Structure 1
């Protein structure tokens, strides 16, 4: 008898950081989904995780358990960081969300982003901004729009990666 996989969205732990670093590195090295050009080290992810925790901002993972008794696999992560560092922006956050390659199309992104928005609201975030590369991320734009974000702008040719200039789409959702 096979069991359907169990999906869990929960707060990220230090033990999740190697999987998070691996997922993020894939996007940095092989896509233009992120404008990062060098993968963040594990120490860098530890620093980011600690800083978000200290700021009271959510940092979540989605896991999938296959029923085998083996540890759940981290299938994605998301967090809400600062939109800008100036104090006037304190109640505005920028979301980041990535799924492990091959985890797309299973509802994991929706579950992860939905919970992230709930936790961001509880943390006092009033506005969430998403900055999405439009070159390879139509699914990300669609996901954000399905969860109430609206497109509020486009920045043209603001990033250069893998030999080409890239635009970003700005989306925003009010939580207040």
Structure 2
């Protein structure tokens, strides 16, 4: 499958919303229960971009089939070098290398920004595809919150994965996020 990774455009938001709504209604990658509308997704994108963080789209034949973004891990200034990475794909785009390309693009952007850690927060310890994708791009497991989410009439784990962009621990060279 031939695809392009690019910065998300406002025109991408209906497709992005549809991808996310499908996951809210049918998947465990998010513990959100009520699907957001396009206006809400636009607001979320705007909040991410206001911090100069990337929000990317994966496009096949002019159609958005996936998206990914970085967001603050926590809002306290001490966490200004740590961001959470999120990737969502349309069902037909899974297993095609698109998720990996989105993740690699975000990792490159995070490095260029002088950030230190990327955190993956994976809903459902049974989500082997997402866990494998994180491992394939250098993430390591940082812990599991057991049975912390209740969705689809069952308890669901949260798997935390972490990628250290500065493993030697030297002092930061950038001011980090403006939190």
TM-score, normalised with respect to structure 1 = 0.90
Residues matched between the structures, number: 166
Match of 2:99 among 105, 109, 116: 109
Q: TM-score, normalised by structure 2?
A: 0.89
1:49 corresponding residue in structure 2: 45
> Is the counterpart of residue 37 in structure 1 residue 27 in structure 2?
no
CA distance in structure 1 between the partners assigned to 2:22 and 2:39 by the alignment: 17
CA distance in 2, matches of 1:112, 1:19: 16
> Aligned-pair distance for 1:124?
3.2
Task: Show the counterpart of 1:61.
Answer: 57
Equivalent runs, 1:1-176 vs 2, <5 Å: 5-65=1-61, 72-176=62-166
Give the drift of 1:6: 3.0
Structure 2: stretches of 5+ with no match in the other structure: 167-179
Q: Please report the RMSD computed on the Cα atoms of aligned residues, expressed in angstroms.
A: 1.2
In the aligned structure 2, how far is the partner of 1:123 from the partner of 1:17? 25
Return the alpha-carbon distance in structure 2 between the equivalents of residues 20 and 124 of structure 1: 28
Task: State the SS of the aligned residue for 1:102.
Answer: helix
Q: Per-residue displacement from partner, 1:113-145 (whole Å, max 9, x unpaired)? A: 100111122233210000112354210000000
Query: Which ranges in structure 1 are unaligned for 5 or more consecutive residues?
Result: 66-71
* Counterparts of 1:124 and 1:42, CA distance in 2: 32
